[in-house]
């Protein structure tokens, strides 16, 4: 949903859908103003070459603003990818499952999204369910019931399960195992200590901007462990080495 315009008048609609989310009117107005001509360049942002200096400025500005808003440490890379959160269900194990010799990962299933992520990860390694998968998703299981693998390559959780209404109010303690978090629906809604995470990903359409861009924030020491079968556009090392421009991104996103 969004603004419904009829007879030259704007009717503002309150949006309760899961996403894409409603964008601020000021953002839409600015986009409208530059739709045909971005900063006197003679072309729309949609027509800019992703290799052009003008688009590189846009990309760098977006990263700088995110680093400021989230206080992202210097030893983390910010990637702008495609494929949505669902794409990261595959990309995460493809890149991180081989961090440890056992090729296993801990997953806590608290709703539909983490369940789908765990199911996808099983294609690429051993998935340890931290707690048995519940029949209904109603709450975060008590920490005393968790069974963590100290040799896991990473620990995965979804911060906010939008379908089931279950949200973590804290960052889990994993005793040094890198934490991977799907924050698609609540990123930028609160202060976070990014240094506690190994990787955070989020589809832009919930809280950041238009659909089409997937944000990945990853600690540098976790880059470079992709499986040989990992598609090149999902390889974090390749994307980080190419400033998220290995392939043509959704420039208007």
Give the residue numbers annotated as catalytic, written as ranges: 113, 182, 206
What is the SS3 assignment for 219? Answer: strand
Angle of the 84-96 helix axis to the 112-121 helix axis, nearest 10: 40
What is the SS3 assignment for 126? Answer: strand
Contact at 8 Å (CB) between 125 and 153?
A: yes
Query: CA-CA distance, 84 to 126, in Å (whole number)?
Result: 23
What is the SS3 assignment for 217? Answer: strand
Phi and psi dihedrals of 85, rounded to 5?
-60, -35
Contact at 8 Å (CB) between 5 and 11?
A: yes
Question: Residue 159: which of 186, 179, 133, 188 has the closest Cα?
Answer: 186
DSSP tag of 72: -
115 sits in which H/E element: helix 112-121
């Amino acid at each position: 949903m969004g603004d419904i315009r009829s007879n030259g008048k704007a009717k503002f609609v309150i949006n309760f859908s899961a996403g894409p989310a409603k964008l601020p009117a000021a953002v839409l107005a600015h986009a409208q103003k530059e739709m045909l001509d971005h900063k006197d360049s003679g072309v729309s942002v949609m027509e800019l070459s992703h290799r052009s200096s003008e688009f590189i400025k846009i990309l760098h500005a977006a990263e700088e603003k995110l680093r400021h808003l989230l206080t992202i440490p210097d030893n983390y890379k910010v990637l702008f990818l495609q494929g949505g959160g669902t794409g990261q269900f595959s990309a995460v194990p493809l890149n991180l499952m081989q961090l440890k010799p056992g090729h296993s990962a801990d997953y806590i299933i608290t709703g539909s999204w983490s369940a789908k992520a765990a199911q996808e990860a099983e294609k690429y390694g051993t998935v340890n369910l931290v707690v048995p998968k519940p029949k209904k998703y109603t709450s975060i299981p008590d920490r005393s019931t968790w069974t963590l693998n100290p040799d896991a390559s990473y620990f995965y959780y979804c911060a906010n399960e939008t379908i089931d209404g279950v949200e973590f109010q804290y960052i889990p303690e994993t005793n040094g195992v890198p934490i991977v978090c799907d924050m698609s629906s609540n990123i930028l809604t609160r202060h976070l200590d990014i240094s506690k995470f190994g990787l955070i990903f989020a589809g832009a359409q919930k809280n950041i901007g238009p659909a089409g861009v997937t944000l990945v924030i990853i600690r540098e020491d976790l880059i470079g462990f992709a499986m040989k079968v990992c598609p090149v556009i999902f390889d974090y090392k390749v994307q980080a080495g190419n400033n998220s421009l290995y392939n043509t991104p959704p420039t208007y996103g």
